[in-house]
Amino acid sequence: MKCAHHAALATTVAIAIFSSILNADEAAPVPDNPAATQTSTSRATALAAWKQAKFGLFMHWGVYSIYGGTYKGKELWSAEWIQENAKIPFDEYAAVAAEWNPSKFDADAWVTLAKNAGMGYIVITAKHHDGFAIYPSKASSYNLMNWSKTYKGPDPLAALRDACRKHGLLFGIYYSPLEFRLSKKGFHKGDAELLAAGFKYETLGPKPYASNADVVKMAEAQIKELAEWYQPDILWFDGTWNAMGDWSEGDARQALETIRKAVPNVLINNRLGTKDVDFNTVEGKLPETAPKGTWEYCWNLGVFWGYNPRNYTPERVGTPERYIETLVQVTSMGGNYLLNVGPRPDGTFHPMAIEYLTAIGQWTRVNGECVYGASPAPFAKPAWGYATSKEDKLYLIIKTFPESGIIEFPALPTPAERAYVLSDPNHSPLKLNQSEAKWSVELTTRTPFTVVAIELKK
């Protein structure tokens, strides 16, 4: 950070304040997503900026990316869980980690890719369940900057943080306190043979920590590092679920206190393991009706979180429209959307990921108005697609066109002034009928995810 010499003199809290002032100055305006800056002076403004940003890029990147779901020639339905799923001995995994050299890592390229897709934030894995951190942690030598025999830097977290500040995106960090090797219900679960042979979780390398208490202590220390050093806008926790038994509510409360002291306005998801967090995580299948509270939906481009080359088949990734639809659907239910892509071990993205993100960006650039800062429409999901709204506008996002080209929707209490297609540069007025309980517009286009803007009387 450029302010390092000042920071040395300051208290933790002062660093937080100083860096947020610095960020305000540095944040470049983002024409297609103007509120996605990290100038948060309160948790409320932080939350508002995150909601405005709406769409983020999630990235699972670690030693598992090297395996790409294949172990000893065997192709597994696996990515970031491969150490656990293939029961890879720790020493062997740690040896692979030592050879990791993401020489093509380019923070600016990653952030630009996200920005060009119309995303206003990123979330990057600092440490996943394999225990390997990608930043120069002082709390554990088992990290990229220390462990790799060849990687020369930069620190990926610092570089991404700086690139986010430069390009006006919010910066988020994913962290999992849980580690396979110390979870008695995790690694080698039920492996009677190993247990009979005297298998002990505590004796497995790499050092320096050797017990469950140690791993919690290390997690507390790493969480402190992540909050203090990187001043993230978002801390995205995972791997604290009780079934694994490694992380107590007390541990979570202590972490929360540390975090709020270091970076008071950071947004925290509900997987830290304590209350007083900022948003709920929704994953898997999208619910039919809006989840309660503030929420973010996360899922993959395709089927895997970490890199697996077998992710990139047309059946698995579908079409770019699938992700545009999810973005619109999530917006129509009042949520945020965190789309995950696993970068390749060398620091590049699979060409198909780039192609899809670019295609999504072509749509958001033209139609983003119906997404950024938009709320659900004041009526239930229409049969032809989705609807969102702003104070004096209604947006109709049409997926399936009726034969007639006439799109019907419930009448609003405020009269409409005009209607036009967002992608029409002239905004030529559409035929708008608002004489009945049902209003309608008539369209000549049949392009899926065409957006009609309806301006209401002010």
**Strand positions, DSSP E, 90-207:** 121-127, 170-175
CB of 67 to ligand JFZ, least distance (A): 14
Nearer to ligand JFZ, 137 or 176 (CB): 176
Nearer to ligand JFZ, 345 or 361 (CB): 345
Interacting residues of 311 by C-beta distance below 8 A, sequence separation 6+: 79, 300, 301, 302, 303, 304, 317, 342, 350
Cα dihedral sign for 197, 201, 207, 213?
A: negative
Facing residues of 390 across strands? 393
CB of 284 to ligand JFZ, least distance (A): 6
Q: How many CB atoms lie within 10 A of CB 278?
A: 19
On the 0-12 / 13-18 / 19+ scale of CB atoms within 10 A, 216 is buried
CB of 283 to ligand JFZ, least distance (A): 5
CB of 433 to ligand JFZ, least distance (A): 45
Both tokens of 296, joined, read 């973010």
Pairwise CA distance, residues 265 & 40, whole Å: 7
CB of 170 to ligand JFZ, least distance (A): 18
Q: Which residues in 286-305 contact ligand JFZ (CB under 6 A)?
A: 305
Q: Which residues in 102-161 contact ligand JFZ (CB under 6 A)?
A: none
Nearer to ligand JFZ, 162 or 296 (CB): 296
Under 8 Å between Cβ of 454 and 393: yes
Pairwise CA distance, residues 81 & 329, whole Å: 29
Nearest residue to 220 via CA among 259, 188, 275: 259
Pairwise CA distance, residues 346 & 310, whole Å: 17
Nearer to ligand JFZ, 154 or 245 (CB): 245
Nearer to ligand JFZ, 38 or 270 (CB): 270
Q: Which residues in 305-334 contact ligand JFZ (CB under 6 A)?
A: 305
End-to-end CA distance of the chain: 46
Phi, psi of 80, deg, nearest 5: -75, -10
CB of 73 to ligand JFZ, least distance (A): 23
Nearer to ligand JFZ, 81 or 90 (CB): 81
Cα dihedral sign for 201, 125, 231, 331?
A: negative
Number of residues in contact with ligand JFZ under rule CB under 6 A: 7
For residue 99, the Cα-to-chain-centroid distance in whole angstroms is 27
Pairwise CA distance, residues 396 & 452, whole Å: 5
CB of 272 to ligand JFZ, least distance (A): 13
Nearer to ligand JFZ, 327 or 339 (CB): 339
Nearer to ligand JFZ, 116 or 176 (CB): 176
Give how far Cα 14 sits from Cα of 258, 262, 264, 376, Å.
15, 9, 11, 39
Strand order in the sheet with 416-421: 375-376, 385-390, 393-398, 450-456, 416-421
Nearer to ligand JFZ, 281 or 434 (CB): 281
Nearer to ligand JFZ, 238 or 296 (CB): 238
Nearer to ligand JFZ, 68 or 168 (CB): 68
Both tokens of 304, joined, read 């895997």
Interacting residues of 196 by C-beta distance below 8 A, sequence separation 6+: none
CB of 80 to ligand JFZ, least distance (A): 5
CB of 320 to ligand JFZ, least distance (A): 22
CB of 79 to ligand JFZ, least distance (A): 8
Q: Is 238 in the site for ligand JFZ (CB under 6 A)?
A: yes
Question: Taking CB under 6 A as the rule, which mask of x and - marks residues 47-76 in contact with ligand JFZ?
Answer: -------------x----------------
CB of 434 to ligand JFZ, least distance (A): 43
Contact footprint for ligand JFZ (CB under 6 A) = 60, 80-81, 238, 283-284, 305
